[in-house]
Amino acid sequence: MKTDKPLATAKPWPTWNTDYDRFVKERNAATQLRDDLCFLVGWTQSDNPEISKKLEELLKKHEEDRVQDWI
C-alpha cells in the first residue's frame, strides 16, 4: 500500500537558548580569553616585561572583579 502523506519525522531541537545556555557560552568565552592572556604573559615576559606586567595586572583585576559567590 502506498500513501502520498509524508512520514512522521522528529522535530529538530529548539534553536532558542536558555539563560543557562547563554551563561555557559559566556563562561567558556571568558575562560578562553583568560587562557590566551595567560599564554601571552608567559610569551612576552622575557622580550617585553612592561607588557607582561600590564597583562598580569589586567588578569589580577579581572580575577578580583569576577563574581565568585555563585560557585
pLDDT in tens, 38-60: 898 888 888 888 988 988 898 88
Specify the pTM.
0.58
- Interval 5-49: pLDDT, tens: 666 566 666 667 788 888 888 889 989 988 998 898 888 888 888
Please report where in the chains the cell 547563554 appears, as a residue. Answer: 22
Grid cell in block for residue 23? 551563561
CA pair distance 62, 33, nearest whole angstrom:
11
Within 8 A by CB and 6+ apart from 64, the residues are none
Looking at 1-71, list the stretches that DSSP marks H as alpha helix, in order from N- to C-terminal side.
19-44, 49-65
pLDDT at 32: 92
Are the C-beta atoms of 37 and 55 separated by less than 8 Å? yes
- Percent residues over pLDDT 70 in the chain: 70
